[in-house]
Structure 1
Amino acid sequence: MIHSFASALLALTLPMILPTAAQTTVRYMPLGDSITEITCWRSLLWTQLQETGYQNVNFVGSMTDENPAGCSIENYNHHSEGHQGYSAVGIVNGNDLVGWLNNNPADVITMHLGTNDIFGGQTTQQILNAFTTLVQQMRNSNPRMKIIVAQILPIFVGSDNTQVQALNSAIPSWAASQNTTQSPIWVVDQYDGIAPSDLRDDVHPNSSGDSKMAAKWYPAVVGAVNTVLGATTTTQSLYGQCGGLGWTGPTVCVSPYTCTFGNEYYSQCL
C-alpha cells in the first residue's frame, strides 16, 4: 500500500488561502489517459474550485468531450488533455505534449499517466524516463510550470497491480530528483484508499472513485495556483511541509493536523 507520507516527500508547500479578484487567471491542464478523459473527477474538481473562490482557474486543453461519463455535473469547463488509450511513452514518442502546450499553454498541470504503459509492458524505468521527458517539455513551454504528478490508481486486473505499486513506490524519489524551486513538482497519492468498489471496471473510477480523486487533487491544485499567484500563508495544510533542515516556511498546521517528523530534511502536516 502506498501511504500519504510517501506521496509528499518533496520540500514544497500547499498554501490554502483564497485569491482576490485582482489576481490573474491561472491556466490548468488536466493531462492523462482515459482516467482523465472519460471520468467525472474533473467536473467535481472544477465545481469545488468554483465554490471556494477559485473562479480564476481556467481548465485548458484540446479535448472538450461533452460529458463522456454521464457525470451528474454537466455544466463545467470540459477542456483537458485526457486521451483514451494514451501512454506516457506513447505521448513522448509522438511528441504530442509539445503541440498540446503550444496550442493551450498552461501554468499548472496534473498528470495521471502510466496505466496504459503498464498494460503495454513498459518497465517502471521506461515510464519514469518518459515522465522526465514530459517534465522537460512542460518546462520548455513554461519555465515556471507547476507540476502535480499522481501515484496512479490501482489496476485490479491480473497481476498488473504489482507493477502499479512498483511505479508508485518509485515516483516520490523520481519527483524529488526533478524538482526545482522555479518549477516545483507535487506528488499526489491517488492509489491509497481506492478499493475495487471505487472502480467501475477494475481500472476507471466510478462515482465514489471520482469523488476520492477530486478530493486528493484539490489541495495540490490550490497550492499550485496560489504559488503561481504569489500567495503567501502563515499556516500549512494537509500534506504540506512544516519543518526540516533549511526550511523557512510555515511551521504551524491548520487544524486538526499536526506537524509530524519524517526525517531531518522533512516534516509534514498529517
Structure 2
Amino acid sequence: MLRRPHWYAFLAALLVAVTFGVALPALSAAALVRIMPLGDSITAGPGCWRALLWHRLQTAGYTNIDFVGSDPDGGCNYGFSYDGDHEGHGGYAATGIADQNQLPPWLAAARPDIVLMHLGTNDMWGGFIPTATVLAAYTKLVGQMRANNPNMKIIVAQIIPMNPSGCPTCAASVTALNNAIPGWAAGLTTAQSPIVVVDQWTGFNTATDTGDGVHPNDTGFQKMADRWYPPLAQVLNGVIPTPTASPTPSPSPSPSPSPSPGAARCTATYQVISQWGGAFQGEVAVKNTSPTASSAWTATFTFAIGQQINQSWNTTLTQNGATVTARNASYNGSLPAGASTTFGFIATWNNTTNALPQVNCTLS
C-alpha cells in the first residue's frame, strides 16, 4: 500500500478527464483493486520491476490500485514514489512454499484480487526437482488462492532465464518448466478465476539483463515491467486473455514401498549448492549401500555456526537448536539396493563461514 491516499491520484486523474475529455481505463473509477506480486528474490530484492510497473499503471490512469503483501520494501530510486508492498521472499521455492503452506496466511493478510506470480527460479538449482513437481506446487498454490478468493485473477510468468556459473542444468530446467506452463494453465483456468500466462522468458538475455545470470539489472527490470503491463491492464479492464493449450507433462510415478530389510546401511553426502548474502541452498544425497531395499530413511546433522533452515523440499524436516533431522517424504522413502535420493533446503548463515556438517543416516 502506498503511504499516501489513493483518492488524491484518482481525483486528479478524474479532473483531467473532465477538463480535457480524456477517457480513463475501465477500472480506474471502480473499487480499489488489490494486486499481490508473489515470488522470490526476483520480486523481493529489490524487485524494481514492481516500481516500474506501478509507475506505468499510474501514468496510464490505473490509479485505483493497491499493491499488497507483507513486505513494504521500497528500495528502488527512480525519482518517483511507488507502492512497495509485495510478497517476494528471497531464496524461497515454489515447492517449499506449497509444501509448508506458507501462502494462506499471506493471502489472508493481503486479501488480493489479482496475483502476479513469478516463482520457480529456486526450484531450478541443481536440476533435482522435476518439472511435474513444480507444476504440482503451482496447482496447490492456485487452489489456496481460490480458497481465499474464488474470483482471484492469477497472472503467472514463464520465468526469466537462468545461466549462473554454478548451475549447468539451470538453463535447460527453466526451458522445460516454461514449455509446460501454458498447458498447465489451460487445464486449470476458469471463467471465474482465470489464469493468464505472461512470457517473461523470450527476449530476456542473462548476459545483458542480469548481473549474475539470475537476478535482473535495470534493463532486466524494465523488460519485466514491460511484459507484465499489457496482460495486467487487460485484466484490470475486464478482458481475460486465454492461454494456449499444450500437452502437460505427466508426473513421474512414485516408487512403490518395499518391505523393510531390517538393518540396512546408507551413506549421506552434504553439499552447498549456492550461497548469497545471508542465505544459502544446501542439498543432501542419501544412498542405500546395503544389498537389500529399504522403505524409509532418516538423515541427521548438526550445524556449527547457527545456520537456521527456513524451507525444505523432498523431506519432512525438523530443526531443534543446531540439530537437524530429515526423514523421507511420502514418495521417496523406498530405495532399492544401490539407489539414492536427494533433499534440499534454504537456510540462513553468518555470511562469513559455512562449514559442512557430518551427516549420519539410517535406513529401515
Please state which band the TM-score falls in when normalised by the shorter chain.
Answer: 0.7 to 0.9
SS in 1 for 2:124: helix
> What is residue 202 of structure 1 aligned with on the other side?
213
Letter in 1 for 2:73: D
> What is residue 160 of structure 2 aligned with on the other side?
153
Q: Does 1:76 align with 2:86?
A: no
SS in 2 for 1:53: coil
Within 5 A, what are the aligned runs for 1:1-270?
18-19=25-26, 22-38=29-45, 39-67=47-75, 70-73=76-79, 75-119=81-125, 121-157=128-164, 158-195=168-205, 196-227=207-238, 240=241
Larger Rg: 2
TM-superposed deviation, 1:23: 1.2
Unaligned runs of 5+ in 1: 1-16, 242-270
Backbone CA RMSD of aligned residues: 1.8
Which structure exhibits the higher relative contact order, with contacts defined as CA atoms closer than 8 Å and separated by 6 or more residues? 1
**Residues 114, 127 of structure 1: 8 Å contact kept:** yes
**Residues 61, 104 of structure 1: 8 Å contact kept:** yes
Deviates more, 1:154-163 or 1:184-193: 154-163
Which one has a larger percent strand, Structure 1 or Structure 2?
Answer: 2
Percent of aligned pairs sharing the same letter: 48
Q: Distance in 2 between matches of 1:47 and 1:187?
A: 22
TM-superposed deviation, 1:159: 2.6
Taking a change above 3 Å as real, the CA distance of residues 124 and 32 of structure 1, as seen in their structure-2 partners, is same
TM-superposed deviation, 1:73: 4.5
1:187-246 CA-to-partner distances (Å, cap 9, x unmatched) read 00000001120111100111111110000000111112222xxxx7xxx9xxx56xxxxx
Q: Distance in 2 between matches of 1:217 and 1:126?
A: 25
Letter in 2 for 1:154: P
TM-superposed deviation, 1:20: 5.8
TM-score norm. by structure 1 comes to: 0.76
1:166-197 CA-to-partner distances (Å, cap 9, x unmatched) read 00000000000001010001000000001120
Q: Distance in 1 between matches of 2:114 and 2:181?
A: 19
Q: Distance in 2 between matches of 1:64 and 1:58?
A: 12
1:134-182 CA-to-partner distances (Å, cap 9, x unmatched) read 0000000000100000000100122310010000000000000001010
Unaligned runs of 5+ in 2: 1-23, 243-364
Taking a change above 3 Å as real, the CA distance of residues 41 and 20 of structure 1, as seen in their structure-2 partners, is closer
Letter in 1 for 2:90: Q
Detail structure 1 runs of 4+ shifted over 2 Å in the superposition. Answer: 19-22, 70-74
Letter in 1 for 2:181: I
TM-score norm. by structure 2 comes to: 0.56
Letter in 2 for 1:191: W
Q: Distance in 2 between matches of 1:71 and 1:168?
A: 31
Q: Distance in 1 between matches of 2:79 and 2:191?
A: 36
Which one has a larger percent helix, Structure 1 or Structure 2?
Answer: 1
Q: Distance in 2 between matches of 1:21 and 1:156?
A: 40
TM-superposed deviation, 1:129: 0.1
